[in-house]
A and B are shown apart, each in its own frame.
Chain A
Amino acid sequence: MPRVTTSEAQVWTENRPTSGLRLPRLAELWRYRELVYYLALRDVKARYKQTALGIGWAILQPIVGVAVVTLVFRRIAHVPSDGIPYPVFALTGFLVWNYFAGIVGDATDSVVANTPLVTKVYLPRLAAPVSAVLPALVTLLPGLVVLAALMAWEHVAPGPALALLPLWVLLLLATALGTGLLLAALNVRFRDVGGALGTLIQLWLLASPVAYPASLLPAGWSWAYAINPMAGVIEAFRWSLLDGPRPGADLAVSAAVSLVLLVGGLFYFEHQERRFADVI
């Protein structure tokens, strides 16, 4: 909506009706990058105020989760794990998944939760869902420490693919942010999204190789499975972190879907954004 033009060394901002597709205003988001940080900081501080364990929850949760999953999937159901010790295998899946689900959950809520900001001040509304990337880090980082300890205990070491890890992190962020942007914009109009989110995330979890390996699937179907971008992301994380099996061409399918999600999410959010203040 506001377009910045420069004339006579003075900056004019223009507000006129727009229609059709708009380019996401990433440059403006960059100018407001401190806002992204402060919104995230606010959410983290508010979340851990008046909790006795505080950050301890972030360590306790993955340990308990993996213990339960190991008992059920390994000891009772005898699920294979690509030759990797099962607890390490499952913990990696859960850390990646929880980070993803945390971002999607926070992002979906982000615009609606900041209603006063949307209706009372001008700011790049993209900052709200983007800031959702940071709070989930608070739970991811202690989880990674637990993972490192467990890997040392089980004598699992990363291979040379570790160098590619930043790439998978970007892929994970693209998937989570793309999904979050779509849901955040939808949530402004339809509060149903908030209610449906829990079910969606649960189904998506079952469709992702978190507690079981993708290699369990019939060989001819793995490309279809890879349409779920989280399938590729999780397998890639295991490859880099645990020296797991190297993902095949299916990873390209997942990566392509991730990028489509991110670009689609950005454009859809930008398209809906102009009406946020009116319909929220």
Chain B
Amino acid sequence: MHAIEVHGVSKRYALGERRGASGTLVETLADLTGRIRRVAPPSLPREIWSLRDIDVDIAAGDTLGVIGRNGAGKSTLLKVIACITEPTTGVSRTRGRVGALLEVGTGFHPELTGRENVYLNGAILGMRRREVNAKLDEIVEFAGVAPFMETPVKRFSSGMYLRLAFAIAACLDADILVVDEVLAVGDTEFQRRCLGRIESMRSEGRTVVFVSHDLDAVTRLCSRALWLDGGATKRLGPADDVVSAYLASGRTFAARQVFTEDPTRPVSVLSVAVLDDAGTPTEALDRDTPITFEVRFVVRERVPALDMTVLVHNLRGVRVLDEAWSDSAPAPRREALGEYVARIVVPPIFAAGEYVAGIWLGTPFESILYEDDLLRFRLHGDANGRPNRITQLALPWDVRPVAPVAFAKGG
């Protein structure tokens, strides 16, 4: 018994259309007269196929994870399933009430109190007043904001705001819940509760479609996964298989990027790589040994104040490293013409996990190369049961007795 059926769904966005939204009546009139005079408009509207021929059936009570790079069409698929936008071709069917959580706090108004926002958001999600009444205690309890329900939410901390918004959606009696990357925000405790809530929805027999970059959560929570690539289905199947195929795909992990040289530029980058202890480019590294980033570049003209930084992000998008050449070798420098190899050694400070590295190379006046996502690598190692940290330093504790205890209290 299916709860969601997506058959041959494609979605086209005309880029000219989006311009029309901020554009003006005059532009459209000009377009129209251009059409009448059979003059080609100055720039032909380009179009993007955000989804191409997607087929997926989701059984009632099943959880589907949707993964893929940015712009792969994940959010568009959720919008089609949730009836927010029409597909260009194909059909999507859902059975029962659909709750969409594409953004946390969509309908919140800062001037309204917590309680008023609960009712407003309940109505937006299609709940009746008495349904909200019946769920109010549960929502307040889940969000943990009971003392602040009569306070305008503009005075809420961002954490309280998030918790309340998620609580409303999570307590909605939806047969199908569609969740976008909402769990990327909020603290660990909040994320843990959200994931727990999704897990319990699954056990209650609700159907969940769930977009995430957190591949770990996808394998844990989802029975099946859909990998989208450029709007098309790359792979659909058991979550474990799809996630490991995604991780193993060449586009995902890269230890070295080589650039084609541009001899007209004063400085160009030849290659960027991440190296293991032995100096070989590797995507799989040991978190207990130092890792090295290597940048090869060529200087053809003398450039004042040439600088470079290596940028490392974890998969939650946190920039964990941003080290500039000028931090240790301040300008003024003037490099002689020639080819260079730059290396920076990072001691074992990062927690085990996946990372994305890129570089910026340029001068105070010009960026020559700026790419966040050039290298992808994984640090293998033991998190000692504490996976939610950014650094793992094994710093020594200094614990020493300062006074003896004379008597045990209370006898």
Given contacts A32-B126, A120-B106, contact A15 B87 (CB under 8 A): yes
A191, B86: Cβ atoms under 8 Å?
Answer: no
B102 and A120: CB pair below 8 A? Answer: yes
Chain A interface bracket (under 10, 10 to 19, 20 to 34, 35 or more): 35 or more
B259 in the interface (beta carbon within 8 A): no
Q: Contact at A274–B94, with CB atoms within 8 Å?
A: no
> Residue B24 contacts which of A34, A42, A116, A192 (CB distance < 8 angstroms)?
A192
CA of A117 to CA of B139, assembled, Å: 21
A202 interfacial contact with B, CB 8 Å: no
Specify which of A10, A18, A39, A279 is in contact with B20 (CB 8 Å cutoff): A279
- Are B125 and A121 in contact, CB atoms less than 8 angstroms apart? yes
Output the residue of B82, B88, B129 with the most chain A CB within 10 A.
B82
Pair A274/B21 contact, Cβ less than 8 Å: no
Q: How many residues of B contact A (CB 8 A)?
A: 48
Q: Does A190 contact B (CB under 8 A)?
A: yes
Asked if residues A120 and B100 are in contact (CB atoms below 8 Å), the reply is yes
With A and B bound together, what is the CA distance between A13 and B178 in angstroms?
15
Chain B residue numbers with a CB within 8 Å of A15 are 80-81, 83, 86-87, 91-94
A contact residues around B329 at 8 Å (CB): none
Interface residues of B in 143-159 (CB under 8 A from A): 152
A17 near B95 (CB under 8 angstroms)?
no
Interchain CB contact under 8 A, A279 and B124: no
- Among B26, B84, B112, contact of A121 (Cβ-Cβ < 8 Å): B84
Residues 8-27 (chain A) with a chain B CB within 8 angstroms: 10-18
Say yes or no: is B340 at the interface (Cβ < 8 Å to chain A): no
State whether the Cβ of A189 lies closer than 8 Å to any Cβ in chain B.
Answer: yes
Q: A34-B123, A46-B111, A277-B79 are in contact. Are A13 and B129 (CB under 8 A)?
A: no
Give the residues from 104 to 128 in chain A that come closer than 8 angstroms, CB to CB, to chain B: 116-123
A21-78 at interface with B (beta carbon < 8 Å)? 31-32, 34-35, 37-39, 41-42, 45-46, 49
Task: Give the CA-CA distance A277 to B94 in the complex, in Å.
Answer: 19
**Residues from chain A with Cβ under 8 Å of B293 in the complex:** none
Residues of chain B contacted by A148 (CB below 8 angstroms)? none
User: Given A1, A13, A37, A46, which contacts B86 in the complex, CB threshold below 8 Å?
Assistant: A1
Q: Tell yes or no: B230 within 8 A of A by CB.
A: no
With an 8 A cutoff between CB atoms, is B96 at the interface? yes
Tell me whether A192 and B112 are in contact in the complex, defined as CB-CB below 8 angstroms, given that A15-B86, A122-B82, A279-B20 are known contacts. Answer: no
Question: Shortest Cβ distance from A217 into chain B, in angstroms?
Answer: 33
Q: Which of B83, B106, B112, B123 contacts A35 (CB 8 A)?
A: B123
Interface residue A2 (Cβ < 8 Å from any Cβ of B): yes
**Are A2 and B95 interface neighbours, CB within 8 A?**
no
B103 contacts A116, C-beta separation under 8 Å? yes
CB of A183 closer than 8 Å to a CB of B? no
> Contact at A38–B120, with CB atoms within 8 Å?
yes
Asked if B319 lies at the interface with its beta carbon under 8 angstroms from chain A, I say no
Interface centre among B85, B89, B116 (most CB of A within 10 A): B85
Interface membership of B128, Cβ < 8 A: yes
Asked if A130 lies at the interface with its beta carbon under 8 angstroms from chain B, I say: no
Which of chain B's residues have a CB closer than 8 A to the CB of A259? Answer: none
Q: Which residues of B contact A279 (CB under 8 A)?
A: 17-18, 20-21
Q: Are A49 and B82 in contact (CB under 8 A)?
A: no
Q: Is the CB of B111 within 8 A of A122?
A: no
Query: In the assembled complex, how far is the CB of residue A184 from the closest CB belonging to chain B, in whole angstroms?
Result: 14
Provide the B111-125 mask, 1 if CB < 8 A to any CB of A, else 0: 110001001100111
Say yes or no: is B260 at the interface (Cβ < 8 Å to chain A): no
Report how far A274 CA is from B86 CA in the complex, Å.
Answer: 7
Report chain B residues within 8 Å CB of A32.
123, 126
Assess whether A13 is in contact with B124, with CB atoms less than 8 Å apart: no
Are B125 and A45 in contact, with the CB atoms below 8 A?
no
Q: Complex Cα distance A18/B86, Å? A: 8
Is the beta-carbon distance between B87 and A17 smaller than 8 angstroms?
yes
**Per a CB cutoff under 8 Å, which of A14, A116, A190, A275 touches B107?**
A116
With A and B bound together, what is the CA distance between A13 and B89 in angstroms? 16
B249 at the interface (CB under 8 A from A): no
B90 contacts partner chain A, Cβ-Cβ < 8 Å: yes
A191 contact from B22, B91, B123, Cβ within 8 A: B22
CB contacts (< 8 Å) of B84 on chain A: these are 118-122, 277
Sorted nearest first, the 8 A-B pairs with minimum C-beta distance are: A16-B91, A35-B123, A2-B83, A277-B85, A38-B123, A122-B83, A120-B102, A120-B106
- Can you name 14 A-B residue pairings with CB atoms under 8 Å? A12-B94, A15-B81, A16-B87, A17-B88, A34-B128, A35-B124, A38-B119, A120-B100, A121-B102, A121-B125, A122-B84, A188-B21, A275-B17, A278-B17
Sample of 14 more A-B contacts, CB < 8 Å, known A31-B126, A121-B124: A14-B91, A15-B87, A16-B91, A18-B86, A38-B119, A45-B116, A120-B102, A121-B100, A121-B125, A122-B100, A190-B23, A191-B24, A274-B86, A280-B21
